[in-house]
Structure 1
Amino acid sequence: MAFPGLQHVALTVSDLERSTTWYAALFGADPVLDEDEDGGRFHHTVFALDGGMLFGLHTHQGRESRDRFDEQRTGLDHVSFAAGSHAELEQWARKLTELGIEHDGIKKSHYGSGISFRDPDGIALEFFAFPES
């Protein structure tokens, strides 16, 4: 049996409205779901990305720690979005700049190239493309 791919990612954010607006601009799309979960423990706003993957933003009804994200803490290091080519990375770099999102430019390595940036809570994000053959 093959191990399945990721179906969704959910991030806890400190300000759902701010993060929803920020991610909607980044994704160029509105959420497909915005509701309290059945038990009332959290609220989620969900975006549908290409390839069938979902990307969720959660708030835990005021119980969030409100700590800034730190990739050195055990847990999430970063979330990476697939780019198909170096040319696509260049397009994303331009879009991030147009949106006023700070980034490090395209960094190249033997295993691929990427652009690192952060969301309003400081959560580390990246666009990544494998080396072109």
Structure 2
Amino acid sequence: MAFPGLQHVAITVSDLKRSTDWYTRLFGAEPVLDEDEEGGEFHHTVYALDGGMLFGLHTHMGREAKDGFDARRTGLDHVGFALPDSASLEAWGKRLDELGIKHGGVKKAHYGSGISFADPDGIALEFFIAPGT
């Protein structure tokens, strides 16, 4: 039996409005869902990305841990967004510049190339292409 691909990613944010505004600009789209979870444990704002993938922002009704994101802590290291080729990687670098989002420029490695950046909570994000694309 084949192992399934990812269907969604959800991250916890410290300020839902700030993060919703930031991701709306980044994605160039409004959320498709913005509601409290039925059990009242969290609120989620969800974006539909290409390929059927969902990306969610969560707030836990004031019960979030107050420490900031750290990729070295056990848990999430970063979220990578797949791009088809180097031209699209360059285009997204320019788009990040237009949005005023700081990034590290294109980094090339034998396993692929990417542009790393962070959201308002410092959560590490990356645009990535496979080698040879």
TM range (shorter): over 0.9
How far residue 66 of structure 1 moved from its aligned partner, in angstroms, is 2.5
Q: Which residue of 2 aligns with 1:71?
A: 71
Q: CA deviation at 1:131?
A: 1.7
Question: What per-residue deviation string (whole Å, max 9, x for no partner) do you get for residues 16-48 of structure 1?
Answer: 000000000000000000000000010000000
Counterpart in 2 of 1:109?
Answer: 109
CA distance in 2, matches of 1:48, 1:61: 23
Q: What is the match of residue 6 of structure 2?
A: 6
TM value normalised by structure 1:
0.98
List alignment gaps of at least 5 residues for structure 1.
none
User: More deviation in 72-81 or 60-69?
Assistant: 60-69
| 3-state SS of paired residue (1:22) | helix
Counterpart of 1:98 in structure 2 is 98
1:132 Cα shift?
Answer: 2.1
In the other structure, the counterpart of 1:46 is: 46
Structure 2 unaligned blocks of 5 or more: none
CA displacement 1:77-99 (0-9 Å, x = unmatched): 00000011011000000000100
Give the aligned CA root-mean-square deviation in angstroms.
Answer: 0.7
Measure the CA separation in 1 of the matches of 2:89 and 2:25: 17
1:19 equivalent in alignment to 2:13:
no
Q: Any idea what SS the aligned residue of 2:45 has?
A: strand
Aligned residue type for 2:132:
E
Distance 1:66 1:11 in 2: 14
For 1:81 and 1:94, locate their aligned partners in 2 and report how far apart those are by CA, in whole Å. Answer: 16
